Amino acid sequence: MLKARAAALVLLDASPFYRFCEAQLLPDLAAGVVVIDDLFGKRLARDRGVARLSTAQLVAEMVAERALADDDGFRVFDLSTPASAGREAYDRACARALSSGG
């Protein structure tokens, strides 16, 4: 799993206005980590070779680092993942983040 604390972190909104920003910023972020959840942003990051975290991954790492309370982390995770993910997927994501060093 990517470590958000190991590189620059940029949060990009998924609205159409920010799609232009994504296209303009991503080439300059090759050494950083970008948090993008929308399909356009994921594909653009992949195609440009930019490391990417989802909101769910970032939240799991923040909980593992004790930078975010477990209940708050689950609320964010639950809102940023499909309804079928649920608490078990959250617990697994946090366990993976913790076992990989947070």
- Residue 15: pLDDT band (50, 70, 90) is low
Backbone angles phi and psi of 50, in degrees to 5: -100, 130
Residue type, 93: A
| Distance (Å, whole) CA 57 – CA 62 | 9
Q: pLDDT tens digits, residue range 17-60?
A: 556 666 666 666 556 677 777 777 788 778 878 788 888 998 99
| Distance (Å, whole) CA 80 – CA 31 | 25
Between 37-41, 76-80, 85-89, the lowest mean confidence (pLDDT) is in 37-41
| Distance (Å, whole) CA 7 – CA 68 | 19
| Distance (Å, whole) CA 43 – CA 14 | 13
Its pTM stands at 0.67
Average pLDDT in the chain = 76
